[in-house]
Structure formats: structure tokens, C-alpha cells
Amino acid sequence: MGKKHIIETNQEEAIKEQEKIDKSVAKESKIKPAGVQEGKIFVSSSYNNTIVTLTNTRGQVLAWKSAGSVGFKGTKKSTSFAASRVAETIANICKKIGIDKIEVLIRGIGAGRESAVRTLVAQGLNVISIKDVTPIPHNGCRPRKVRRV
């Protein structure tokens, strides 16, 4: 059956991952004006991936992460666990920038919708509102004309 590989994360790898987050925060903190404590988080959850975007109240992007950028590959990107890891990373970035009040806007119909929001709340962010902004067709396209034989 083969050997089972156990992945061990040592201190050095954890430090490198933290430095990556610090670098991305340093880039994004140039955009934010001083004293920002509110922001919006857009969760786009599809069947294949989950993308979480952090913006300020005006809509300027401060940071974004996806399940692929966090380290998941293939079908694992579409899981709710991957979505919670992405939300956890964005929550850490929020804390570094200094944002504590957030509005959450959810788009899409994937497995990571609820788990991303639950993780944001569990990380200690003050969620003001949760909105579902999934596009829904009201009447749809005009149907084709009837085929005459």
C-alpha cells in the first residue's frame, strides 16, 4: 500500500508563511488611508474555487486570497475547509491593517459560502451585515423560435 507521508511544519516554514503575509500587507497598506477601521469582504464561491477579497468602504481592493493562492490544488480548492483557510488568512490581514468592522457580501453557489463567513466571525471580526449578491436571472434570455419541420 505504500508509506504514509506525514507533513510536519516546522518553525522555519511557519515564519516564511508569516513573512509572505507581512509582505502582502505592506503592499496593501499603502492604499489604505489612515484610520480605516471598516471594510467590506466579498466572498466569491464557485464550484471550483473560493475567492475572498478585502476592500475598504469605497471599494478599493486592499487584499485578496483564493484557495489556490493559500496552497490547495485540484478538487481540494472547492471544499469548505479550503474556504475557511482562505477566510482565516484574510482575517489575519484585516487584523494587521487594523480593520475590525466588516460587511460580508457573498456571491456564488459553492461549498465555501457558509464556512468562510463562520471563520470570519470566529476570528474575532465584527460582522455588521451579511448580504447575498448572487446574480439571479429574472426572466432569462428570449427562447429560440419553434422549429418547423
Mention every residue, 6+ apart, whose C-beta is less than 8 A from residue 112. 43, 45, 50, 67, 78, 79, 80, 82, 83, 84, 86
CA-to-CA dists, residue 68 to 1, 46, 63, 65, angstroms: 29, 13, 15, 8
Query: Is 55 within 8 Å of 40 (Cβ atoms)?
Result: yes
Report the Cα–Cα distance between both ends of the chain, in Å, rounded: 60
What pTM does this model have? 0.73
Residue 87 in this model has a pLDDT that exceeds 60: yes
Pick from 19-28, 69-78, 85-94, 126-135: least confident: 19-28
What is the per-residue pLDDT for 17? 72
Selection from 96, 97, 95, 92 nearest residue 35 by Cα: 97
Rounded CA-CA distance 41/19 in Å is 23
Domain annotation for the chain: domains and CATH numbers: 43-132 (3.30.420.80)
Confidence of residue 36 (pLDDT cuts 50, 70, 90): low
Query: Is 60 within 8 Å of 31 (Cβ atoms)?
Result: yes
Element containing residue 93 per DSSP (H, E): helix 80-97
